[in-house]
Structure 1
């Protein structure tokens, strides 16, 4: 029986893939025989470390530095990717949070700040998605096929106190993806989101370990009482990128340990 998750022949671009969830998605794709994995990060050394990890394991990868909030930078990245491996079949919009260079006031209540702080979230989580999609979609239309997967947050589905603008930006990215799905379905291009909750990156693990009582209260909100793992997210992204999901589009899949439920 053939492996439906085999990506043989597909070229994938993952933004923000120099660490954490993005890194694991890149490793998953390489392990399932992607024809080429384009590892993007704002910091080239991080992207190179992941690309080398893939190549050392026998996979094909390149590292490309680009700022997803800058359309010209994104188009240059896509050009480098296509020169190395050919047209992009899978785009994973993973770059997020408050960006590589956040405003120092980004974590304050939004009503105490202004557009400079808000832009820290909006530019990377919404415009970054739009920029990357606009650069990759024409080629997908020409070839009549493709997968676009955007990593959002449960903050974008349910809202998160203290992360108002971030929540709005992630919700905007999800709405954008639903519209893209409607626009591109006739070209056999699917567009979906994966909504994640607390995932055990080094920063989150350090916070949980530093305050066990607070960690216990946080994890009580999860039906499966642990933070997520990057592999939990990468498993769903791989499914949506593969030939196992050709008739799924315009959806948002929570991978959140039961933090919130969806119909």
Structure 2
């Protein structure tokens, strides 16, 4: 049997030759190793961690619960929260995230804005925890329109400095330098996974708050009050933690 070197031209058995000719088979090789666009194991591991983080009650939970139980609004609220994380993903992809984290003044300003926004929403919820009844009786809603709920949801997630820091600390750990995809594309893909898991968790949560709690005004009122108080506590805690870190 003839050897490879006797059949192919001199030097044709190099890694470059294999890589060039393997394109016809839809596979790329470098030095005899196959490179995948994104490793499924890394994506699944990130998805598991993301689900754990999202499932822990926080500002997003409080806003979704309050809007669902109090105002009977779900999809615009969740869509806004998801859009906020899309913004954070875009910041990561653009490479701005590390710059923001490395600039104390910018991070402090972001913390103050996010904390103030959460406290404002919490006070608004506590002021009228009864919300809008299905019969049409009016009250002071969290927003005047579906677009308003969308914008507020974006503010809750995008202005949360913890969300940015989570993206900064966790997403890069699941990227692989040997992958075909460049780093920004990998970060973008992981960010989209996070956003989709938000939908999986928050849409059922919002509908449960709307249908289950909405049918029980007393429980809905107490849940709404708890959600409003949570927003205020989280907002103040974020601000206090930032003050301690910078002092």
Structure with the bigger percentage of strand = 1
- Normalised by the length of structure 1, the TM-score is 0.27
- Structure having the higher helix fraction is 2
